[in-house]
Amino acid sequence: MHLYSVLSLLMVVAAAFAYVNFKFLKLPSTIGLMVLGLASSLVVVVLGQLGVGWVMNVGELVRSVDFSALLMQVMLSFLLFAGALHTDIQALGQEKGAVATLATAGTVLSTMLVAGAMYLLLPLVGLGLPIIDCLLFGALISPTDPIAVLGILRKARIPPQLEIRVVGESLFNDGVGVVVFISLLQVARQGMESMSGPELLGLFAREAVGGIALGAVLGYVGYRLLKSIDQYQVEVLITLALVMGGTALAEALHTSGPLAMVAAGLVVGTQGRRLGMSDVTREYLDKFWELIDEVLNALLFVLIGLEMLVLRFEKTYLAVGMAAVLVVLAARALSVAVPLALLPPRVRYGRSGLAILTWGGLRGGISVALALSLPTALASRDLLVAVTYVVVVFSILVQGLTIGKLVERLGLAGQGPAQAHH
């Protein structure tokens, strides 16, 4: 009952914030919800310092929500499946070289660049960390979260080729980032000496390749079931079972649930929608998953805002966080530019495309969830969680609110189809 009460309260808060944002702030939905969550947290913190008693209960309530487990084990699968379901796999296939390079080589390169910079910079403020801790931070901060920015980019109507690269990269680099993080966490637990390179590669392959293979099989089974009937209620139920059962199966097989759901969503979204559904089913399925996407994103960004109530901040952490913002942006620019420079000229981006990918590479809920999943025994946990939070808040508020203007300034606005949503 306690869990139900907490979720009910979060849903009420999310609905209230969504109403206030739509009616008064008029910010992009996810950004507005997070701004209101942050503002509420600040008010509660100030009231707490003034000795208002009930404030302690709010903090306890937020602390009782296992944010990391909620996002990583429940919400992420739904969000990635919903995103993949509305992605055009044929357009994605034409960009597969760029998307695969960015999601794999780009994510790994970003992890190493961020880790190296933090390893060198932190001793300057007396907070030197072991290299494995820096690598963990690099891995958790490298996946981009386009949820907050995609609506803005679609409204600006950027070229379809650039949009599919942003969508495709983010769908896969979420999964790859989680796999890299899990692999490094295993190294941190066992000790760098006790884990060999082949063992680490084997773990990575089982998680990543196994996850994609499992998702493709589940997606195909789902497609065959959808094709065999024409009853939209049952077909929506099948996709729901696919996500929930598929995530549980991936966990049991020790493969990547997020990557499995991306693969399953792409197969169902292409084969299932095109060949296995009537127009009525397609419409209901799209609306159902768009609604799931909106509701979970509302909860996610409200939670990110409220999470500030339970984080331990120190002045040094804030300074390190602001330095980390610059490090992460520089690493993002290099991890986009360098891998793409190795591809044939026809799949490279112009400078404007690189600028959009760099500034539009927002960090979001996944980074916060991975940081909060760090073991409490890790001495650097408080520092890494606080720094992650600063980077995510800057990313969503500053980059998210200015990406539209950047698109206009680069002259890319209005080049895509006149549609705000899939």
In the chain, what is the straight-line distance between the N-terminal and C-terminal CA atoms, in Å? 38
What's the pLDDT score for residue 346?
Answer: 67
Q: In the predicted model, is pLDDT for residue 319 greater than 50?
A: yes
Q: Are 289 and 239 in contact (CB under 8 A)?
A: yes
Tokens 């493709």 label which residue? Answer: 216
Can you list the alpha helix ranges (DSSP code H) found in 102-252?
A: 107-121, 131-141, 147-156, 160-190, 197-228, 232-252
pTM of the predicted protein model: 0.90
What's the pLDDT score for residue 192?
Answer: 67
Q: Are 99 and 167 in contact (CB under 8 A)?
A: no
What is the tens place of the pLDDT at every residue in 219-252? 999 999 999 999 999 999 999 999 999 999 999 9
What is the tens place of the pLDDT at every residue in 173-191? 888 999 999 989 888 887 7
The confidence band for 422, taking pLDDT boundaries of 50, 70 and 90, is very low
The confidence band for 286, taking pLDDT boundaries of 50, 70 and 90, is very high
Q: In the predicted model, is pLDDT for residue 168 greater than 90?
A: no
What's the pLDDT score for residue 344?
Answer: 80
What's the pLDDT score for residue 418?
Answer: 57
- What 8-state DSSP symbol labels residue 376? T
Tokens 């760090």 label which residue? Answer: 374
Chain Cα centroid distance, residue 30: 13
Cα 43 to Cα 99: distance, rounded to the nearest angstrom: 42
The confidence band for 148, taking pLDDT boundaries of 50, 70 and 90, is low
CA-nearest of 247, 269, 249, 267 to 258 is 247
What's the pLDDT score for residue 72?
Answer: 87
Cα 123 to Cα 220: distance, rounded to the nearest angstrom: 51
Q: Are 292 and 300 in contact (CB under 8 A)?
A: no
What is the tens place of the pLDDT at every residue in 75-92? 999 999 998 998 878 888
Domain ranges of the chain: 66-409
Q: In the predicted model, is pLDDT for residue 421 greater than 50?
A: no
CATH architecture of the domain 66-409 equals Up-down Bundle (1.20)
What is the tens place of the pLDDT at every residue in 376-413? 888 899 999 999 999 999 999 999 889 888 988 988 77
Of 35-49, 146-160, 339-353, the poorest mean pLDDT is in 146-160
The confidence band for 108, taking pLDDT boundaries of 50, 70 and 90, is very high
What's the pLDDT score for residue 58?
Answer: 82
